[in-house]
Every structure is written in C-alpha cells, then in structure tokens.
Structure 1
C-alpha cells in the first residue's frame, strides 16, 4: 500500500514538472489523455494497418507515391502528403531508398554514331522499340547471368534467359523468347550496349533476320539504355539485395516470380501508375 502511494506521488510530480515545462495545466493534460481518439486519427490507424500489409505484400518496393496510388485504387480517400506522413511515422520506406544516389542534371543524353534510340521519338505503341541488357546474380554455388528484353512503350519484360556462361547464347535466348511471345512491328528498333554478347555476328544476324533495326549505346554510357538500367535497379533493390540465393534453381525461381509481379502488378510512374500489362491493354 505504501509503495503504491509513493509511486503515484512520483508520477504526480513528474506530470506537474512536465506540464510546467510545456506551459500547460495539469487538468488540461488529464483531459487530453482521457479524450477519445478523433475520427481523423482513427482513419490514420486504419490506413497505417493497410499500408503495412500492402508494403509487405508488394515486396516492400513502394514509396509514398506508389502507395498513394495503390490506396486510391482500392477505394481509400487520402492525400499523398498523408500517406507520406504515415509511412514516416511507421518508418516504412521503399526498398530502393538510400541504395543509390541520383543527381539530376549530372548526366545528359547525347546522340552518337550507332545510337539510333537517342534520335527517335518515344514509342506510340508496343513492339516499336525494344531494349536488351544482362546482369549477374550471385548464389552460394556460383554466379548466374540473367539477360532481359524490355518493351519501351509498356516497360514490360517481354523475354528473359539465364546461363552460367556469359556468351552470345545468353542474349540470343532472351531475344528468342521475346519473339516467341510477342510480335514486334516491322523495323522495330533493338537497342543494347556495345558488349560482345550483342555485337557478335550471331546476334546481329538474328536481329537482321527478324526485321529489327539495330542501335547501340555509346561506350561507357549506361544511361543511353536508361530504361533497362532502371529495371535492373528495381529488381536488385526489391529482390536481389533482400536475400541470398542458395543455388541457380532458387535464383531463377525467385527472379521469374519477380518478373511476373513486375509485369502484372507493379505500378510504374512513367505509365501513369499502371502496371505494364494493364498499360499494354489500354494502348491496344
């Protein structure tokens, strides 16, 4: 009994001291503490719960802008500023936050010999401009190379391949898959870097036979193929940097699953916050 009285007395003095320092009355503090949660804050709590669930379900890749669009799509009325405030309150960030530093204006695009993409207008429909590139994935059992073909109009991954070897067959397989699943326009532009995997006669012949026009980035200028770099940026930040693959089979399974998510569900700011497949249907 005596202990309880002492503790309460200490709490009383703490509250009195804090109220005096903050310039508020004790009665005002107790009234505020007993006041029911406002409707605005109740709605905040509802949004916070949903944001947390969506953030996990969407692979932790959405920042405030995409999260705001996703909430609006699901029928929740809220502003982007409110979503940003709630995400900061919960310390929820996009998986890409802090991984890369982007300095607007530092890099500029200039056309050069062979870079036909830089001279062209943005595509008006799917199958007019494709880009290709490859990256490498680290597994506990060794390195795995991953090639991708992307449609610039829809930002959809239209073809991909995997190989333990970095050679022309890697890039040919990705293009072969893209051609089996899609029908590019006659004269479709295919843009890549100057790597031997794309400059080799075998790959060049495959492009010519399929009716493509060729385009290549300037040497040492990865931003000439910015859309492809953006895809790998997203994939590595949202998947690769989040886990360690035991072997090639596990890596392929997770990457293919990510590509399906990327094509069908992931909202793209450059597409008006639509997924590539939905944007493709709208433009058909």
Structure 2
C-alpha cells in the first residue's frame, strides 16, 4: 500500500455523498466500497447535502477560512507598514536592501506592498550578486598572491603583482580586502645585535668610495655584510654579496665561525658565478673580516676596489642592512632552526628560490631582481647591436 495520501476532486466527493444518502448500505460499507475512511465520508456529508449542493456548514467554514486569511494579510500588512515606515522617502537601492534583509516576507509581497517594480528589484539583486561574485574572485587572487609570497607581501607589493598579471589594482581597495581577510605581512620590528667590530679600522685608509657617487648600472657597486642566524646548535653566520642596482644576491656562504675566510669564499663564489667588471666597487662596513689582509689581497688580485662605511654610519651600507632585515622578517623570525643544516637549507631556499627570482620590488617596477637584471642586459645587448 502506498504511503501517499489520496486526493479526491470535488466531483468525486459530491457523488460519494449522494451515494451515501441514496444507498441502503451503511456509511461504513459505502466508505469501504469507495476505499475512503469512514470519518472522511462523514466529513464530506457535512459539506454537501443529498443533492450535492454545499451545506450551511461548508459555507460557514469557507467564510471562516477567508476571514482568517484576511486577518493574516492585515496583520502582515500592519507589520510591514511598521518596518517600512522609515523608508518612505528613501532611494530604491535602500528599499531593495531593506527587502533583502527582511526575508520573513517574500520579495513579491514586499514590492507589491511598497508599490515598486519587481523587475527593478530583481535587476538590482542580480547586479549585487554579480558584484559580490567578482569581489570574491578578486579577493581569492589577492590571497593567492599573499600565500605565494609566504606571507611577506603587504598591500603595496600585492598591488604591483596584480598589475603585472593584468588586473587593475587600487592600493586602498587591496588594503581593505586584506584587512577583511586578516592577511597581514609578517614584517615586524626586531632589535638586532651588531656584529661589526671596527675598533681597529678607524684610520683614513678606509675610504668610502660610494659617498656622493652616482650609481647608474648593475655591477658598478657591490654591497656585502655578515649576519647571524640562531639555531639550537649555535649561531650560523651568513655572508652575502649583492648588486646595489638590481638588488640580486650574487653569492652567499654560511659558516659556524665568523672569520675572514667566510668573506673571501663568498667573494670567490660571486666572481665565479657572474662576470664582474674590473674596477667595480666592493662596499662593506669596517668589520675585521672585511678589513683583513686576506680579503684586501683577494680584491686587489681581481681588480675590485674596496670601499668602507664611515664609523658609526650603518646607513652607508643600507643595501645589505635592508636585505638582512627582510630576510630575518620573512624567513627567520618566528621560526626555530633545530640544526645548522636546517638553517642553511632555509636560507638557500629563500635567497635562490624566492628573493632573487620571485620577490618583486617596487623600485624595479614590480619585477624580481633576477627578472630586472635579465631585462636590463637584454636591452643593453640590443642597444649595442
């Protein structure tokens, strides 16, 4: 037997009632013959008479139902009137928003009650949904770029990357979306311990060749410095040599000891990997590793001039200072390196896998150092040809 409730039309009900009055059978027998409930047949007899016409009871029942419906409509209109009273002089967009925020009544009832265009509301709703969909897609792009930067990009760099990928980008809009998504760059302030010991390098022999120098092209000036990376096995010391104009890190070396050999090995690696022109300038602070005879002799042998920051002026070597600040904020802070090897792997991944090849810079037209250098060398080769 099917669990579905049977439905009977008015004609069937009238005929069933007329049969119940005309037949000599009992109500129970007729109900059984018609396959309906006995109570159902009695209910039909209340609504219809022996001739099939509606009884007074049926008329009163319909009137009562109509009155209930009318009362419900009046109550609804009263409630709607209370809610929409402040909107009498508002613009359609405000009214449309009100309708959407009050789903207790259907939109069809609201537009009819407020005497506004239903098609206008539907068109507004479609535009709103389309706009929200576009906003969601745009926010997903921003989050993807942020995640690809390992959480290092702020709104400025995200804007640049969006423009590179062919999208329009407003700093204000991107910043607002990032705030709403809780995307915040991991850059933070952290006091660093200075590693520079310049007590033996305070004479006039340590000239600053880059002060007031106009730096116009790559490999004209190189900047170098040493910083430390904390691990549970002790400090690891990182030496890097970078090109000032392109910002690319030409070479880096790490060691558990901060000796002049660390600087010398890093310079040798930079020379092997890149064709450094003669008379380019190698700039550093006055740390004992850089003022050592070993480093001086090496630089003289490859015809690279050595330059030093002034005493107490770390800003003279801001190129390396800035690099280490970014590296610490983006790859070191908030991490604990259990071994020296783990730290070395992380630093290599950051410099070679991200900083040189992917990390865009505003001053380079939102290009990576490697990308900018390749573009510059290509343009230079075309101009020579």
Shorter-chain TM-score above 0.5: yes
Structure 2 residue 364 is the aligned partner of structure 1 residue 271: yes
Structure 2 residue 261 is the aligned partner of structure 1 residue 193: no
1:155 and 1:29 mapped to 2: Cα distance? Answer: 51
Pairs within 5 Å for 1:110-121 = 114-121=207-214
Aligned to 2:159: 68
Aligned to 2:39: none
Aligned to 2:313: 221
Compare relative contact order (CA 8 Å, sep 6+) and give the higher one, 1 or 2. Answer: 1
2:308 and 2:277 mapped to 1: Cα distance? Answer: 19
Q: Give the superposition deviation at 1:29.
A: 5.7
- Of 150, 172, 183, the residue aligned with 1:81 is 172
Q: Give the superposition deviation at 1:128.
A: 1.3
Structure 2 residue 266 is the aligned partner of structure 1 residue 174: yes
Aligned to 1:99: 189
Pairs within 5 Å for 1:98-247 = 98-99=188-189, 114-124=207-217, 126-247=218-339
Contact 1:123/1:129 (<8 A) preserved = no
SS of residue paired to 1:215: strand
1:271 and 1:114 mapped to 2: Cα distance? Answer: 29
1:188 and 1:167 mapped to 2: Cα distance? Answer: 24
Contact 2:164/2:366 (<8 A) preserved = no
Contact 1:207/1:214 (<8 A) preserved = yes
Structure 2 residue 372 is the aligned partner of structure 1 residue 282: no
Aligned to 1:262: 355
Gaps of 5+ in 1: 1-12, 102-111
1:79 and 1:27 mapped to 2: Cα distance? Answer: 30
SS of residue paired to 2:150: coil
User: Normalising by the residue count of structure 2, what TM-score does the alignment of the two structures yield?
Assistant: 0.62
Aligned length: 255
Q: Give the superposition deviation at 1:186.
A: 1.1
SS of residue paired to 2:211: helix
Contact 2:248/2:356 (<8 A) preserved = yes
2:229 and 2:207 mapped to 1: Cα distance? Answer: 29
1:77 and 1:159 mapped to 2: Cα distance? Answer: 36
Gaps of 5+ in 2: 1-78, 104-124, 192-203, 378-385
Q: Deviations over 1:18-45 (max 9, x none)?
A: x98xxx9x97664133645443332221
1:202 and 1:268 mapped to 2: Cα distance? Answer: 35
2:334 and 2:177 mapped to 1: Cα distance? Answer: 24
Which 10-residue stretch deviates more, 76-85 or 51-60?
A: 76-85
User: Normalising by the residue count of structure 1, what TM-score does the alignment of the two structures yield?
Assistant: 0.82
Structure 2 residue 121 is the aligned partner of structure 1 residue 31: no
2:359 and 2:171 mapped to 1: Cα distance? Answer: 18
SS of residue paired to 1:199: coil
RMSD, aligned α-carbons: 2.6
1:80 and 1:38 mapped to 2: Cα distance? Answer: 24
1:47 and 1:63 mapped to 2: Cα distance? Answer: 16
Cα 1:53–1:238 shift into 2, 3 Å: same
2:333 and 2:234 mapped to 1: Cα distance? Answer: 16
Q: Deviations over 1:65-116 (max 9, x none)?
A: 11011112222233222111111211212221x4269xxxxxxxxxx96111
